[in-house]
Amino acid sequence: MSFDYRLLGKKLREARESLLIEPSEVAGILKISKNEYIKLENGEKQATGDQILRLATLYQRDFRYFITGDYPSAESQIQELFRLNSSLSKNDRLAIQEFIRFCEYEYFLEGLISQKVSEELPDYSNIIHHNYYQQQGQEGAYLERKRLQIGNSPITDIFQLIRQQGVHVFKRKLEDQNISGLYIKHPEAGHCILINYIDDLYRQNFSAAHEYCHALFDSSLEQEMTYFKTNNNNHKEREWRANSFAGYFLVPEKAIHKYYRLQNNYGEWLTLIKQMCSDFSVSSKVVIIRLHDIKWIDAELKHRLYNDQRLIIKKTDKFDPEISDDLSIGSKERIMKLIHKGLSWYFIELATEAYRKNDITYQKLLEMLNLPIEEGNELLSDLRVFMEATK
């Protein structure tokens, strides 16, 4: 059977257009004329193997997607996500596509290194049948805590908990700071969550729980983008449910009644809320809403507390579990930059372990980490120092 260059060209054009890249830009990278590149997309000219590899790198796709007709990719999910969120910038589209590649690599590495087998996530949309969306979120949070056997204890690391359920979760600093996070159901890698790396670490925890709810309730939709503020009412019910789930999942009502008590004056409420923020690793607004949910505070006090600047938790008072405390300040800063680019400490450890075991080459390691040689050398040096310090 002859190779279908028209199908290849169609895939190349769709990938380029989805990332808002102009044909002239691609032609410059390949060092060919714009007309020659257009002929590649039209199937009128045969692309070389080297060109396909370079284009796969540029478009952040596995090269096998371009040369086979049945390679399992998240192409349809990503195209739909971009269609529904057409205002996404060129850089944010590329960041999301890189995130998908990290999820695919992580899935491969977990099978290679840990042989990780996770229980299939429940689909609570098939378990909870009424149409009260906020109540669905509450009930889903209760059921999921029960399934995970974590009782009413605070969740110290929501990202680790989600990963333990077989979900691929990454952070990435996006240009659009109104984006909270997104969810993709990959046909092979499974559930994938991206959280916008904003300055508020506690807000990231809430966003992670919010997107986890989409994995538990909305996986049949295969993609979902969440904004902090939006005028789109097409899926407001799902967002109500996800917000309700996140609040009840992170700060369960039974835990509030068990560990805390009603306060006598405004100053005591301030102290209590700060303590609860520290205990549950959530923002003061989440705590205030939960206290209002259980009718410990009324609407007037809720509004006053909501706008009290003294309840803004300082960045220095928040702990990011994604960054090890055993690293030096310089190493932490370099790791932070990598997280801003979409990597995670968990993923870095997986990839470097595969390299140390000779399961992947150094070139493949750098490809997975999406790093140039110099930054790759620095990262490996940081990891060696960290491993020696923790022996």
pLDDT in the model for residue 389? 46
Residues forming a β-bridge with 186: 190
Q: What are the Cα distances from residue 97, in Å, to 76, 278, 357? A: 12, 34, 28
pLDDT in tens, 354-382: 998 999 998 899 899 888 877 777 777 76
Say if pTM beats, i.e. exceeds, 0.85.
yes
Give yes or no for residue 1 having a pLDDT over 70: no
pLDDT in the model for residue 391? 47
Phi and psi angles of residue 17, each rounded to the nearest 5 degrees, phi first: -65, -35
Strand order across the beta sheet in which 223-227 lies: 168-172, 190-196, 179-186, 223-227
Confirm if 313 and 277 have CB atoms less than 8 A apart: yes
pLDDT in tens, 94-150: 999 999 999 999 999 999 887 666 679 999 999 999 999 999 999 999 999 999 999
Query: In 3-state terms, what secondary structure has residue 296?
Result: coil
Closest CA to 221 of 121, 125, 137, 97: 125
260-289 mean pLDDT? 95
Pairing of the two strands 168-172 and 190-196: parallel
pLDDT in tens, 58-102: 999 999 999 988 888 999 999 999 999 999 999 999 999 999 999
Confirm if 189 and 219 have CB atoms less than 8 A apart: no
Q: Which residues contact 129 (CB under 8 A, 6 or more apart)?
A: none
Comparing 201-205, 220-224, 290-294, 380-384, which segment has the lowest mean pLDDT? 380-384
Which position has the higher pLDDT, 345 or 149? 149
Residues forming a β-bridge with 264: none
d(CA 354, CA 310): 47
271-294 mean pLDDT? 95
pLDDT in tens, 20-36: 999 999 999 999 999 99
Widest CA span in the chain: 80
pLDDT, mean over the chain: 90
DSSP state of 317: G
**The tokens 């044909």 sit on which residue?**
23
Q: What are the Cα distances from residue 32, in Å, to 58, 74, 110, 223, 306? A: 15, 29, 39, 36, 58
